[in-house]
Amino acid sequence: MKKTILIADDSESVREVVSFTLINAGYNVLVGVDGEDAMKFLDGKEIHLVITDLHMPKKDGIALIKEIRGKAEYQYVPILFLTTESQAAKKDEAKAAGATGWIVKPFVPEKLISTIEKVIR
């Protein structure tokens, strides 16, 4: 059975590149245009991993993580940040919110897939 990954990113080009990379690696992909839009998929669907940007309109990545961690059925789903932000303070804030890992854009597809394989269940 294919594993499902939810992507939340406000950049259309990033969503397309990440989706293409994940689909070619054999994953099902759900896509939200920001944190608020991504929440529509967290309605009982089986999701094995969330990849989110940090800075997004309506609901940023930190707020998205906090809301996901507040849902009992998704509290243990791994969450990776894929962002241009590399400041240690933001990483600490994301970790405190419940992030599993951090990948800085631009990403190398092989590195993204190897990181996913380490954290996905």
Interacting residues of 44 by C-beta distance below 8 A, sequence separation 6+:
73
Q: Which domain holds residue 95?
A: 4-108
Q: What is the pLDDT of residue 107?
A: 87
Q: What is the pLDDT of residue 67?
A: 95
CATH number at 103 reads: 3.40.50.2300
Number of domains in the chain: 1
pTM of the predicted structure, to 2 decimals:
0.94
What are the pLDDT tens digits along the chain (121 aa)? 899 999 999 999 999 999 999 999 999 999 999 999 999 999 999 999 999 999 999 999 999 999 999 999 999 999 999 988 878 888 899 899 999 998 988 889 999 999 999 999 6
Residue 35 lies in a domain: yes
Residue 117 lies in a domain: no
